[in-house]
């Protein structure tokens, strides 16, 4: 949970200082924090003129917006920040400069996510030695399904060691390979979708920048 601490006026129950940035200026508070590092303990052991302020609902943001605190309110006994979105840029020139960096960052982010997820899908608990045989397993399995008299040296060795048969193993190999195809295909499609939307953004035309809002891997 994201939270900050405020000092209140005990007589009026109104916020006197928020946020408190320098705890060293509030020795009673600092002592309470050191003695109660866990939030729930701290909540019940704060000095009487301090309160926990929890983060309010974060509004939906466009790529060129940020969020700021505009107030603190007491709702159902819980002090909560009031947040609003605001435009980060005051001119088209600022927005264009930021868009250049943002476009590069979104491309890099998508490529990183794609690589990480593909590696996870391909690894999936298998060793490198096992993964190096997957293509050959698939070839042999497809050949066996088409003609069960063909030679399948790899699948036969695997089946014998597992005390099963190629007839049972081959459909499993194909099903596993097709499932992996679907996973990788989905990731490729998602990566290309990001690329297509980035390509639709003309860095000299701010009217195209709204496409940034629809880009996510």
pTM for the predicted model, two decimal places: 0.70
Count of the separate structural domains present in the chain: 2
What's residue 136's pLDDT? Answer: 97
Task: Identify whether residues 21 and 122 lie together within a single domain.
Answer: no
Domain end, chosen from 58, 87, 116, is at 87
Low-confidence ranges of the chain (pLDDT < 50): none
What value, to the nearest 5°, has the Cα angle with vertex 94 and ends 92 and 97? 105
> Residue 133: CA atoms inside 13 Å, Cβ hemisphere, count?
14
Count the residues in the chain.
217
At residue 206, φ and ψ (nearest 5 deg) are -65, -20
Task: Judge contact between 173 and 141, C-beta under 8 A.
Answer: yes
Domain end, chosen from 52, 71, 87, is at 87
Task: Identify whether residues 33 and 52 lie together within a single domain.
Answer: yes
Task: Identify whether residues 97 and 144 lie together within a single domain.
Answer: yes
Read off the tokens for 50.
């301090």
Q: Which of 47, 37, 52 is nearest to 4 (CA)?
A: 52
Beta bridge partners of 7: 17, 50
What's residue 186's pLDDT? Answer: 97
What's residue 11's pLDDT? Answer: 87
Task: Identify whether residues 132 and 174 lie together within a single domain.
Answer: yes
Task: Identify whether residues 56 and 22 lie together within a single domain.
Answer: yes
Task: Identify whether residues 107 and 182 lie together within a single domain.
Answer: yes
Q: Domain range spanning residue 16?
A: 3-87
Task: Identify whether residues 74 and 130 lie together within a single domain.
Answer: no
Task: Judge contact between 46 and 52, C-beta under 8 A.
Answer: yes
Domain end, chosen from 64, 87, 110, is at 87
Task: Identify whether residues 37 and 100 lie together within a single domain.
Answer: no
Question: How far, in Å, CA of 144 to CA of 153, rounded?
Answer: 11
Spell out the residues 6+ positions from residue 121 whose beta carbon is closer than 8 angstroms to its own: 180, 183, 184, 187
What's residue 208's pLDDT? Answer: 95
Q: Which of 63, 46, 98 is nearest to 215 (CA)?
A: 63
Dmax (CA) for the chain in angstroms is 91
Task: Identify whether residues 103 and 179 lie together within a single domain.
Answer: yes
Task: Identify whether residues 197 and 96 lie together within a single domain.
Answer: yes
Over the stretch 11-59, which tens digit does the pLDDT of each residue have?
A: 898 999 999 988 899 999 999 999 998 988 998 899 989 999 999 999 9
Task: Identify whether residues 100 and 191 lie together within a single domain.
Answer: yes
Task: Identify whether residues 132 and 73 lie together within a single domain.
Answer: no
């Amino acid at each position: 949970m994201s939270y900050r601490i405020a000092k209140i006026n005990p007589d009026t129950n109104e916020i006197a200082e928020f946020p408190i940035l320098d705890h060293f200026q509030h020795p009673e508070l600092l002592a309470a924090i050191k003695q109660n590092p866990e939030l729930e303990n701290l909540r019940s052991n704060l000095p009487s003129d301090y309160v926990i302020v929890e983060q309010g609902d974060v509004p939906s943001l466009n790529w060129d917006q940020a969020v700021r605190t505009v107030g603190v309110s007491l709702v159902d006994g819980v002090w909560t920040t009031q947040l609003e979105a605001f435009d980060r840029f005051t001119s088209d020139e600022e927005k264009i400069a930021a868009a250049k960096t943002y476009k590069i960052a979104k491309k890099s982010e998508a490529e990183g996510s794609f690589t990480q997820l593909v590696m996870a899908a391909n690894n999936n608990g298998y060793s490198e030695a096992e993964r190096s045989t997957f293509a050959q397993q698939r070839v042999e399995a497809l050949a066996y399904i088409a003609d069960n008299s063909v030679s399948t040296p790899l699948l036969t060795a695997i089946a014998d060691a597992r005390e099963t048969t190629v007839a049972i193993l081959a459909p499993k190999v194909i099903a596993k390979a097709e499932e992996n195809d679907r996973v990788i295909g989905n990731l490729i499609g998602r990566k290309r979708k990001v690329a297509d939307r980035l390509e639709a953004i003309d860095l000299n035309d701010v009217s195209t920048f709204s496409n940034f809002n629809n880009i996510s891997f």
